[in-house]
Amino acid sequence: MRSLFLILAFLGHSLVSAWLGCDVCVLSHNHVLRVICKAPRIATTTIVGARDTSSAVVVSQLDLGHCLVNNGGKLESGENGNYHDSCDSCLISWNETANLDCFCKHRNLTWVQTSLSLEGILDSTNGYISCFGNKYRSELHDSC
């Protein structure tokens, strides 16, 4: 059986920074994606009258099982697809966009390698990642 816990290594810079404005911390148990994102703060005026429009840092996580499905050995976007029930050894890779690479069970019960671009499936709003129009929004987490 393949490992159920894979830590993503940073390759000099964020894997998804250009895509979601976030840095990947970890993909645990093949399906829980934890990220650090910058979120805009509400502009405030300081005591000396200067406007503070700096960004806050949000650490959040999202169960990708809400967003993806294994369709006969092929990863696809699918609401509550729970792909992780039949896929293993998943990791995030970067090739122009962020991709999820896994070994998934085919209908004939063999393991096949599959990859899916997460572009257009995941979104980031105010530092929280989500899928399906914010229906499944990431939860706030204390650290990476």
Domain-wise residue ranges, the chain? 5-140
Q: Other C-beta atoms within 10 Å of 16: how many?
A: 22
Could you give the CA distance from residue 106 to residue 12 in angstroms, rounded to a whole number?
A: 35
Q: Which two tokens stand for residue 126?
A: 């105010």
Among 47, 43, 52, 78, residue whose Cα is nearest residue 64: 78
What superfamily does domain 5-140 belong to in CATH?
Answer: Cyanovirin-N (2.30.60.10)
pLDDT at 47 (0 to 100): 52
Among 76, 64, 68, residue whose Cα is nearest residue 30: 64
pLDDT at 144 (0 to 100): 67
Q: Which two tokens stand for residue 51?
A: 């406007």
Full-model pTM: 0.71
Residues of the chain with pLDDT under 50: 1-18, 43-46
Q: Other C-beta atoms within 10 Å of 53: how many?
A: 10
Query: Cα-flanking dihedrals φ and ψ of residue 43, to 5°?
Result: -60, 130
pLDDT at 55 (0 to 100): 65
pLDDT at 53 (0 to 100): 53
pLDDT at 33 (0 to 100): 81
pLDDT at 114 (0 to 100): 97
pLDDT at 56 (0 to 100): 73
CA angle, residues 49, 50, 56, in degrees to nearest 5: 130
pLDDT at 5 (0 to 100): 27
pLDDT at 54 (0 to 100): 60
